Structure 1
Amino acid sequence: MARVVRFYSHGGPEVLRIEDLEVPRPGAGEVRISVKALGLNRAEASMRKGTYIEMPALPSGLGLEAAGIVEALGDGIEGFAPGDAVSIIPPRQMARWPAYGELATFPAELVVKHPPWLGFEAAAATWMQYLTAHGALIDVARLGRDQPVVITAASSSVGLAAIQIANLIGAVPIAVTRTSAKKAALLDAGAVHIVATQEEDIEARLREIAPQGVPVVLDPIGGPIFTPLTAAMARGGILIEYGGLSPEPTPFPLSDVLAKTLTLRGYLVHEVTGDPERLEAAKTFILDGLASGALKPIIARTFPFEDIVEAHRFLESGEQFGKIVVTV
């Protein structure tokens, strides 16, 4: 038996329950892990609320990121042994491969032996944020040296990962946040410029920073911010949308899209995780960045497994700076 988190109805954090369940032995090609830490993502809150792209049958487990120790192996597994320290590439189907539990099972191709110097909490805070940012900025946008890049929701885990990756390749990260309360922390995290949306004219501030226009925008919000963002973009620029957090409608900025031949591009991390070649390149980039210290997961707060409800409340508060981790 193992403790796992499930929910029986959609709703707020209070619908999450910790239950004792029998976890089956891993099947062929699967690895079962004794989980030591979980990384929380907004996708999990969305699935809990019933607004995620995946709509599972209830009751359902959830969770996309874990780190721990290999506990059991299914048939046909090579390269892993019980006792190995590992972390998880986020699966495409959260309900099929839920991470929230003392024991969790994943396909072997999603299991990564992480370096011994990378602790379980940092390992659980690595893959979703860096894979998302790398795929968007490096694979899709082809961001280059000295190019400015606007990063909205900059204090989120993906936002901070994007800032670090931009700095690693010599680009110029422009962090967009709601107020100046996190300005000092964002500058310490590597942002070159800060734009506070509730205190400044976004378009005017971005034009001041990048008079020739911004070639790349990374945004998980959508909504009314699309208008000033696209107005400040460079000809031929690309806006990559990977979220949709705004409850307000997202306008289509037709005049700027036409006048500047802009690309507005939806993006999912599954584009990377589902492509072995792209995934291997991203893993190499990320592990090299971690080893050099250029990439370093920023953990906002750590909760014990028993406080998963409170951890989800904090996840939705918008107060965090970096990744929320749950220890098991």
Structure 2
Amino acid sequence: MKAIILNGFGGPEVMGIGELPIPEPGSGQVRVRVMATSVNRADTVQRKGNYPPPPGESDVLGLEVAGVVDALGDGVTDWQPGDRVMGLVAGGGYAEYALAYAGHLMAIPETITFEEAAAIPEVYITAFLNLFLIGGLGEGETVLLHGGGGGVNTAGIQLCRALLDRCRIIVTASSGKVDRVRELGADRVIDYRQQDFAGEVRRFTESAGADVILDHIGAAYLAQNQAALAIGGRLVVIGLMGGASGTLNLGLMMVKRQRIIGSVLRALPVAQKADITATFVQQVLPHIQSRRIAPLIHAVRPLAEAGRAHAEMEASGHFGKLVLQVAAQ
């Protein structure tokens, strides 16, 4: 099968099309003929050698797939060859065939394409897990999302609007994306290059602060995130683009009863990811089927242009997902 192979670790130029054996599904696994996959920030980190796959998983890049069931491993009864599916993989998405655990797959609604389906599993499940299941975001609360043009945060805005009747959404974004983020449903958009986001959050909330913050920056935002958190607020850290080590104000954390929570979806146990996927199917997939939630796609590139897509992601000029078309449709 054709797959993206890394010629060492480094920039997008280390990526190229090569040939690999077609993988065989193990117990509880499904082999998917991949029609489309998409690029996630974690893929760029792995390409640089800083985010290896969990033990036993494919070292091919790619954390989500959309395609057709091709073969079943022992014990799989929920799927049949030919089923249209999308789902999480711990690696292997940038290839013509990929293995997924049966419980990590979802039926693709007839209302969406393979390219749209490829833009759903990683970012929408990440946003759903961290905002609602871990962050506990509820009615009447205020959420702060960092990096409004990225896939997780555009998904987060849509999820908050679909799942909650009353929720105030604050988003940080670069100046070129402010209007688009506002149009997507944000109540307040902060240009992080021009404004102090912690001060702006306090002004917007009349000093109350944000109940939940979803952050992929890490250390560089830690102090401001603490300052922006409400009493009893929850900071969920899902990335480290701004560093892994920062100074935590324990006194402020105690006085304001703040919770600082780290979260990584990829490394969760198989059974736990299956439970999360099942909850997502129940609570979110109907909104996707009705297209109340519609994945935002910045561009669709052929698999051979994966390097170009990585360069686009690292330049941060995209709004929504960068999708890779693997098979002609």
Q: TM-score, normalised by structure 2?
A: 0.90
Q: 1:150·1:175 contact (CA, 8 Å) conserved in 2?
A: yes
Q: Give the gaps of 5 or more residues in structure 2.
A: none
| 1:158 partnered with 2:157 | no
Between Structure 1 and Structure 2, how many residues are aligned? Answer: 321
Equivalent position SS for 1:290: helix
| 1:133 partnered with 2:127 | yes
| Residue 139 to residue 252, structure 1, CA distance change in 2 (3 Å) | same
Given candidates 117, 129, 132, the residue that maps to 1:123 is 117
| Residue 100 to residue 133, structure 1, CA distance change in 2 (3 Å) | same
2:20 and 2:234 map into 1 onto residues whose CA distance is 46
Which amino acid in 2 is paired with 1:132? Answer: T
- CA root-mean-square deviation: 2.2
Map of 1:4 onto structure 2: 3
Which amino acid in 2 is paired with 1:277? Answer: D
Q: Percent identity?
A: 30
Given candidates 176, 179, 182, the residue that maps to 1:181 is 176
Which amino acid in 2 is paired with 1:184? Answer: D
1:159 and 1:273 map into 2 onto residues whose CA distance is 25
Kindly provide the CA deviation profile for residues 67-121 of structure 1, in whole angstroms up to 9, marking residues without a partner as x. 1112223343323222211112x23x42xxx111112222222222211222101
| Residue 278 to residue 72, structure 1, CA distance change in 2 (3 Å) | closer
Given candidates 209, 217, 229, the residue that maps to 1:221 is 217
1:282 and 1:248 map into 2 onto residues whose CA distance is 29
1:74 and 1:234 map into 2 onto residues whose CA distance is 48
- Measured after TM superposition, the shift of residue 199 of structure 1 is 0.7
Q: 5 Å matches for 1:202-241?
A: 202-211=197-206, 212-241=208-237
Which amino acid in 1 is paired with 2:225? Answer: L
| 1:314 partnered with 2:280 | no
Map of 1:103 onto structure 2: 97
Q: 2:62·2:93 contact (CA, 8 Å) conserved in 1?
A: yes
Kindly provide the CA deviation profile for residues 240-275 of structure 1, in whole angstroms up to 9, marking residues without a partner as x. 101111148533133421321211110122559642
1:247 and 1:123 map into 2 onto residues whose CA distance is 32
- Measured after TM superposition, the shift of residue 36 of structure 1 is 0.9
Equivalent position SS for 1:61: coil
Q: 5 Å matches for 1:3-42?
A: 3-42=2-41
Map of 1:256 onto structure 2: 252
2:281 and 2:198 map into 1 onto residues whose CA distance is 35
| Residue 73 to residue 274, structure 1, CA distance change in 2 (3 Å) | closer
| 1:145 partnered with 2:139 | yes
| Residue 248 to residue 22, structure 1, CA distance change in 2 (3 Å) | closer
Kindly provide the CA deviation profile for residues 111-138 of structure 1, in whole angstroms up to 9, marking residues without a partner as x. 2221122210111110111111111111
| 1:198 partnered with 2:201 | no
1:248 and 1:323 map into 2 onto residues whose CA distance is 25
Equivalent position SS for 1:129: helix
2:148 and 2:55 map into 1 onto residues whose CA distance is 30
Q: Which stretch shows the higher mean deviation, 144-153 or 245-254?
A: 245-254
Kindly provide the CA deviation profile for residues 183-210 of structure 1, in whole angstroms up to 9, marking residues without a partner as x. 1100111111101111112222111111
2:221 and 2:300 map into 1 onto residues whose CA distance is 31
Map of 2:295 onto structure 1: 297
Which amino acid in 2 is paired with 1:104? Answer: A
Q: Which stretch shows the higher mean deviation, 121-130 or 79-88?
A: 79-88
Kindly provide the CA deviation profile for residues 137-169 of structure 1, in whole angstroms up to 9, marking residues without a partner as x. 111121112211000012110001111111221
Equivalent position SS for 1:66: strand
Map of 1:87 onto structure 2: 86
1:114 and 1:55 map into 2 onto residues whose CA distance is 26
2:256 and 2:209 map into 1 onto residues whose CA distance is 10
Q: Give the gaps of 5 or more residues in structure 1.
A: none
Q: TM-score, normalised by structure 1?
A: 0.91
